[in-house]
């Protein structure tokens, strides 16, 4: 085995890690006045933003009466009052302009007969607010942003895998990365680093997330001593295709689809009398699990039916073509004629790297920034989603805050120095890679990963309690030990996906630990975090954000207050 | 049930020659081919390399040749293939192989960039959205479905023998903008295409249509481009004649 030779050096004003919607929107903005490079472990157009189906929320009022005010309130309520209201105001007030801007960039939105952007109802939104391009909204936004980055000659490093942050005396000065195709360590020095690495649904067994969604950016920040916020809040989307987890957009229910249990009963009428099937996701996912637990799954099994047959063939093929094709391809169900078997699927991380409304990473309750470090998109926690994200608010989040982060970087960059290339910053990383490549243990990454995914699925998903979480904690400790004895079969450098998977698994383990720690400490139920042993929301003790830091003995928990401006917490019913 | 997979292997670091390796695994009829090669990689042979991400046919990472036809491994189920015999997997044809099923797609993406693949409209944008009728929007529905998986270009015999040819995917991308009622750089793009590298190279073999996982009528789009180039020439002629 050869040792890893000395790192290749690169310098750019701005380095963006991640080429999903958040990273690309930031790149587009920052390239107005700086030399921008984007690093991505998959080719940009393959980022998971491309999988977003349903739409992007904005109070355009094209279909019915709507206002930013209503959007703000829906989002605050949807968050179970854990979202920061100042940030939510920014998100929703900038939404219409953001969508118009996307349209001006060429995004091919679906249209109303009069030529304006088409909108449809979505879960937890009190007006018809989801702007969409059939059921491929994320795909067209991702492609459009990528194309404009090409126009502006943004430098892309595709299939480079960021391994760790270079952190010197408190500030961040770049990233150490691995060239996945050719093999080898690269050092990227930059005045500003933006993390836009997306979510980590792959920590669960059943998920709508891509294989690449392993939360690397969050784990990199955590490893560098930066706290993570609200990690116990994970959204389970109610309608994943049975067993596969592939998403059936909420748009299907927005367009009139309904959920049925084993008695062909429209059970959501019992759980959310006014919003019914388009209540927010935490509510619907819990309802589905309750039905299943009480033996009202289909044929007593662990799924229910999503029925869109009454929409009729024409409307299904026009509004939900991909959904129709997914069900047909993967489970042989023709949604025009039969209901689709569905079950909740791990979907979205509300928590992540704490930032202010300009993408600056802040480490405490005083808003102390880390000079040179920014974050945006699903890996960040602004926090606009609080305890539960509303559908279509994430595409909005990534574009609004991606842009704001890009703009803020341009403002800050004059004051940020270009660090000198300290040669030894990559040493520790090189050693870890060497270790992984030469490990002679018995364990495989795939084996440990599938155990991890089961532990999280069965002990830390929709219903949680003290005992399950303690068991999860013990399981994770055991898996952590086993991870140290990992052996990688592929000993080469070129396209060593075996190595990448092993590194990703380390990240997933860290994030799982933060999730369980946060969930254990939060002895209440709020949004997507539901404790059977503490089934009520407890504003007196827990109307606050969790911060989890890496300590010598494992995750350390502290809290910071929620920003409440106009809406005092009220009981949340739908 | 047990199935045998015969997979193309090449390791550039071993100075070895390309070869096929056979793997026997238990599979279910509803497994994706991606599940099968993951099973092989995760349980039998960690050195097997391929790209993948979304696992449901929307990101375009895992186009490969399965039983002689370009398909997405994550959109092809075991039951979609013939019931018996080996399942053979090769990298995309016409692209240089880097390792195993991973090909070098740089040239593919460069061609895509050659057609100015970005929306152009230099008018001051209105306060709200630009209007576009549902019919005008429909005109570009097919090409906006493209996930840049490379299957079509890799299946095109013209592309195999003539690397100057832009190939179906890049032409489709040009089509997406040329026929967008809001775009203003159509003429410029037609100019780029009115060249020996453009749609005139297409011999309407239809391999691209047959292989496209998004069922896009790529050949039809190329034919429309040919017509549009002619129309553009006539437009210019009548202008200069006046
Ligand atoms: C199936 C599905 C449907 C959805 N539908 C909707 C919807 O309709 N509306 C809505 O609002 N939201 C939706 N969401 C949520 C939303 O799509 C995502 O939250 C959002 O797209 C995330 O964007 P992002 O830019 O933060 O990350 P991503 O798009 O996931 O991009 C992450 C980027 O980081 C890169 N990266 C990661 N790790 C590394 C590393 N170590 N080194 C280098 N690069 C790295 C990746 O290559 C990628 O480019 C959906 C989510 C899913 C899974
Ligand atoms: S046109 Fe079809 S085959 Fe060609 S790159 Fe696009 S999706 Fe793939
Ligand atoms: S893995 Fe995304 S298309 Fe197959």
Distance CA A307, CA A340 (A): 6
pLDDT reading at A55 higher than 90: yes
For residues A435 and A146, the model is more confident at A146
Distance CA A277, CA A248 (A): 14
Q: How many CB atoms lie within 10 A of CB A105?
A: 18
B59–A45 CB contact, under 8 Å: yes
pLDDT reading at A421 higher than 80: no
pLDDT reading at A3 higher than 70: no
One DSSP character per residue, A348-403 reads EES-BEEB-TTSEEE-STT--EEEEEEE-STTEE-SSSTTSPPTTHHHHHHHHHHH
A446-456 confidence digits (pLDDT tens): 999 999 999 99
Q: Which residues contact B195 (CB under 8 A, 6 or more apart)?
A: none
Among A39, A47, A323, say which to mutate for ligand 1: greatest number of ligand atoms within 8 Å of CB: A47
pLDDT of residue A420: 72
pLDDT reading at A518 higher than 60: yes
Q: Is the CB of B51 under 6 A from ligand 3?
A: no
Query: Per-residue pLDDT averaged across A5-9, rounded?
Result: 85
Distance CA A192, CA A418 (A): 9
Half-sphere exposure in the Cβ direction for A479 (13 Å, CA): 27
Query: Per-residue pLDDT averaged across A292-304, rounded?
Result: 95
Dihedral, A186, A187, A188, A193 alpha carbons, nearest 10: 110
CB A232 within 8 A of CB A344: no
Which of A22, A56, A35 has its CA nearest to residue A146?
A22
Query: Per-residue pLDDT averaged across B146-156, rounded?
Result: 97
Distance B212 CA to ligand 2 centre (A): 5
Q: How far is CA A420 from CA A163, A188, A189, A383, B94, in A?
A: 20, 11, 8, 34, 44
CATH level 2 (architecture), domain B106-240: Orthogonal Bundle (1.10)
Residue A214, class by beta-carbon neighbours within 10 Å (0-12 exposed, 13-18 middle, 19+ buried)? buried
Distance A168 CA to ligand 1 centre (A): 29
- Taking the whole predicted model, whether its pTM rises above 0.90 is answered as yes
Question: Which residues of A does the annotation mark as catalytic?
Answer: 281
Query: Per-residue pLDDT averaged across A172-191, rounded?
Result: 95
CB A356 within 8 A of CB A173: no
Identify the band that residue A2 occupies on the pLDDT scale cut at 50, 70 and 90.
very low
pLDDT of residue B144: 97
Distance CA A30, CA A500 (A): 29
Q: What residue ranges in chain B does DSSP mark as E strands?
A: 2-9, 19-26, 63-66, 69-72, 87-90, 97-99, 102-103
CA dihedral (A479, A483, A489, A490) positive or negative: positive
pLDDT of residue B242: 56
Nearest by CB to residue B130, choosing from A104, A212, A498, is A104
Which of A262, A232, A219 has its CA nearest to residue A387?
A232
Residues paired with A156 in a beta bridge: A38
CB A126 within 8 A of CB A278: no
Angle at A191 between CA A185 and CA A193, to 5 degrees: 65
pLDDT of residue B241: 66
Q: Which secondary-structure segment (H or E) carries A334?
A: none
Which of A448, A570, A459, A561 has its CA nearest to residue A519?
A459
Query: Per-residue pLDDT averaged across B95-106, rounded?
Result: 97
In the block, tokens 């720690």 appear at A517
pLDDT reading at A510 higher than 80: yes
Interior/surface letters A471-508, b for 16+ CB within 10 angstroms, e for the rest:
ebbebbeebbebbeebbbebebbbbbbbbbbbbbbbbb
Cα A254 to the center of its chain, rounded Å:
22
Distance A248 CA to ligand 1 centre (A): 17
CB A251 within 8 A of CB A319: yes
For residues A440 and A463, the model is more confident at A463
pLDDT reading at A280 higher than 80: yes
B59–A105 CB contact, under 8 Å: no
Q: Is the CB of B60 under 6 A from ligand 3?
A: yes
Query: Per-residue pLDDT averaged across A484-513, rounded?
Result: 96
The tokens for A530 are 């539901």
Distance CA B94, CA A337 (A): 41
Q: Which secondary-structure segment (H or E) carries A545?
A: strand A544-551
Distance CA A381, CA A3 (A): 39
Residues paired with A349 in a beta bridge: A234
B61–A46 CB contact, under 8 Å: yes
Distance A452 CA to ligand 1 centre (A): 22
Atom of ligand 2 nearest to the CA of B148: 5
Identify the band that residue A418 occupies on the pLDDT scale cut at 50, 70 and 90.
confident
Please give the mean pLDDT across all residues of chain B.
95
Query: Per-residue pLDDT averaged across A109-130, rounded?
Result: 96
Alpha helices in A183-312 (DSSP H): 216-223, 251-254, 268-271, 281-293
The three-state secondary structure class of B205 is coil
- Residue A265 sits at φ, ψ, to 5 deg, of -95, 140
CB A230 within 8 A of CB A82: yes
Residue A308, class by beta-carbon neighbours within 10 Å (0-12 exposed, 13-18 middle, 19+ buried)? buried
Query: Per-residue pLDDT averaged across A518-535, rounded?
Result: 97
Shortest Cα–Cα distance, A38 to chain B (Å): 16
Distance CA A415, CA A372 (A): 10
Which of B59, B55, B37, B54 has its CA nearest to residue B46?
B37
Which chain B residues touch A115 with a CB distance below 8 Å? 131-133
Alpha helices in A31-67 (DSSP H): none
Please give the mean pLDDT across all residues of chain A.
96
Rg (CA), chain B: 21
The three-state secondary structure class of A57 is strand
Query: Per-residue pLDDT averaged across B22-29, rounded?
Result: 97
- Look at A451-460, A518-527, B180-189, B231-240 and tell me which has the smallest mean pLDDT: B231-240
For residues A433 and B196, the model is more confident at A433
Q: Is the CB of B61 under 6 A from ligand 3?
A: yes
Identify the band that residue A426 occupies on the pLDDT scale cut at 50, 70 and 90.
confident
Q: How far is CA A108 from CA A72, B132, B200, in A?
A: 26, 9, 28
- Decide the pairing of beta strands A554-561 and A544-551: antiparallel
Identify the band that residue B237 occupies on the pLDDT scale cut at 50, 70 and 90.
confident
Distance CA A206, CA A57 (A): 26
Indicate the domain borders of chain B. Answer: 2-103, 106-240
Which residues surround ligand 2 with Cβ inside 6 Å? B 146-152, 168-169, 172, 211-214, 216, 218
Distance CA A528, CA A232 (A): 9
Among B65, B70, B214, B215, say which to mutate for ligand 2: greatest number of ligand atoms within 8 Å of CB: B214
Q: What is the largest CA-CA distance in chain B?
A: 74
Shortest Cα–Cα distance, B1 to chain A (Å): 18
pLDDT of residue A41: 98
Which chain A residues touch B180 with a CB distance below 8 Å? 106, 108
Nearest by CB to residue B129, choosing from A103, A113, A332, is A103
Q: Whose CA is nearest to atom 4 of ligand 2?
A: B152
Distance CA A492, CA A489 (A): 9
Q: Do domains B2-103 and B106-240 have the same CATH topology?
A: no
Residue B121, class by beta-carbon neighbours within 10 Å (0-12 exposed, 13-18 middle, 19+ buried)? middle
Residues paired with A235 in a beta bridge: A348
Dihedral, A129, A101, B186, A47 alpha carbons, nearest 10: -80
- Report chain A's terminal Cα–Cα distance, integer Å: 61
A19-41 confidence digits (pLDDT tens): 999 999 999 999 999 999 999 99
- B2-103, what's its fold? Ubiquitin-like (UB roll) (3.10.20)
Rg (CA), chain A: 23
Q: What residue ranges in B32-173 does DSSP mark as E strands?
A: 63-66, 69-72, 87-90, 97-99, 102-103
pLDDT reading at B228 higher than 60: yes
pLDDT of residue A245: 95
Identify the band that residue A419 occupies on the pLDDT scale cut at 50, 70 and 90.
confident
Distance CA A104, CA A343 (A): 38
Which chain A residues touch B119 with a CB distance below 8 Å? 105-106, 144, 147-148
């Amino acid at each position: 085995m050869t040792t890893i030779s000395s790192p290749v050096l690169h310098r750019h004003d701005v380095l963006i890690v991640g080429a999903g919607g958040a990273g690309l929107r930031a790149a587009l903005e920052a390239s107005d006045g700086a030399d921008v490079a984007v690093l991505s472990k998959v080719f940009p157009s393959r980022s998971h933003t491309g999988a977003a189906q349903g739409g992007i929320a904005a109070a355009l009022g094209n279909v019915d009466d709507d206002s930013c005010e209503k959007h703000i309130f829906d989002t605050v309520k949807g968050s179970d009052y854990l979202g920061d209201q100042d940030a939510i105001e920014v998100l929703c007030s900038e939404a219409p302009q953001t969508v118009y801007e996307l349209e001006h960039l060429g995004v091919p939105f679906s249209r109303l007969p009069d030529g304006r952007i088409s909108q449809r109802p979505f879960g937890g939104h009190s007006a018809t607010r989801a702007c969409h391009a059939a059921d491929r909204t994320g795909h067209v936004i991702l492609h459009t942003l990528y194309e404009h980055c090409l126009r502006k000659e943004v430098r892309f490093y595709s299939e480079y895998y960021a391994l760790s942050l270079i952190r010197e005396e408190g500030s961040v000065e770049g990233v150490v990365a691995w060239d996945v195709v050719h093999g080898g360590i690269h050092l990227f020095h930059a005045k500003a680093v933006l993390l836009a690495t997306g979510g980590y649904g792959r920590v669960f067994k059943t998920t709508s997330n891509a294989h690449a969604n392993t939360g690397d950016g969050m784990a990199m920040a955590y490893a560098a001593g930066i706290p993570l916020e609200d990690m116990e809040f994970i959204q389970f989307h109610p309608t994943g295709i049975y067993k596969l987890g592939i998403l059936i957009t909420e748009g299907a229910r927005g367009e009139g689809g309904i959920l049925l249990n084993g008695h062909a009963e429209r059970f959501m009428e019992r759980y959310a009398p006014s919003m019914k099937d388009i209540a927010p996701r935490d509510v619907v996912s819990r309802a589905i699990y309750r039905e299943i637990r009480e033996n009202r799954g289909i044929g007593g099994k662990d799924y229910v039916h999503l029925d869109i047959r009454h929409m009729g063939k024409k409307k299904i093929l026009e509004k939900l073509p991909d959904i129709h094709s997914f069900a047909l391809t993967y489970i042989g169900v023709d949604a025009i004629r039969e209901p689709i078997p569905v079950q909740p699927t791990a979907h979205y991380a509300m928590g992540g790297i704490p930032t202010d409304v300009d993408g600056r990473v802040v480490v405490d309750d005083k808003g102390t920034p880390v000079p040179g470090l920014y974050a945006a998109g699903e890996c960040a926690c602004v926090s606009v989603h609080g305890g539960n994200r509303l559908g279509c608010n994430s595409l909005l989040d990534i574009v609004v805050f991606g842009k704001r982060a890009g703009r803020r970087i341009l403002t800050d960059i004059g004051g940020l120095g270009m660090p000198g290339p300290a040669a030894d910053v990559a040493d520790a990383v090189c050693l870890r890679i060497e270790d992984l490549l030469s490990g002679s243990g018995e364990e495989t990454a795939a084996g440990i990963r599938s155990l991890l995914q089961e532990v999280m699925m069965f002990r830390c998903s929709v219903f949680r309690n003290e005992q399950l979480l303690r068991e999860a904690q013990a399981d994770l400790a055991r898996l952590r030990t086993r991870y140290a004895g990992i052996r990688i079969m592929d000993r080469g450098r070129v396209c060593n996906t075996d190595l990448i998977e092993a590194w990703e698994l380390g990240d997933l383990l860290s994030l799982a630990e933060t999730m369980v720690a946060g969930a254990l400490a939060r002895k209440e139920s709020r949004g997507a975090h539901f404790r059977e042993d503490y089934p009520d929301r407890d504003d007196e003790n827990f109307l606050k954000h969790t911060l989890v830091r890496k300590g010598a003995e494992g995750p350390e928990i502290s809290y910071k207050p929620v920003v409440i401006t106009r809406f005092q917490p009220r009981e949340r019913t739908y | 049930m047990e199935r045998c997979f015969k997979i193309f292997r090449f390791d550039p670091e071993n100075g070895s020659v390309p070869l096929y390796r056979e793997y026997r695994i238990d599979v279910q009829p509803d497994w994706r081919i991606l599940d099968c090669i993951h099973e092989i990689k995760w349980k039998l042979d960690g050195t097997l390399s391929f790209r993948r991400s979304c696992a449901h046919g929307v990101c375009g990472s895992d186009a490969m040749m399965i039983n002689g036809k370009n398909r997405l491994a994550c959109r092809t189920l075991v039951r979609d293939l013939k019931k018996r015999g080996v399942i053979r997997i090769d990298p995309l044809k016409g692209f240089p192989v880097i390792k195993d099923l991973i090909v070098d797609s740089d040239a593919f993406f460069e061609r895509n960039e050659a057609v100015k693949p970005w929306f152009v409209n230099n008018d001051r944008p209105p306060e709200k959205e630009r209007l576009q009728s549902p019919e005008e929007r429909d005109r570009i529905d097919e090409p906006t479905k493209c996930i840049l998986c490379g299957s079509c270009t890799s299946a095109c015999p013209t592309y195999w023998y003539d690397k100057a040819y832009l190939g179906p995917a890049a032409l489709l991308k040009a089509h997406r903008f040329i026929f967008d009622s809001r775009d203003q750089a159509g003429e410029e793009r037609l100019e780029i295409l009115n060249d020996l590298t453009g749609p005139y190279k297409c011999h309407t073999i239809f391999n691209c249509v047959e292989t496209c996982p998004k069922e896009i009528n790529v050949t039809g789009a190329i034919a429309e481009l040919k017509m549009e180039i002619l129309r553009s020439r006539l437009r210019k002629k009548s202008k200069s004649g006046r």
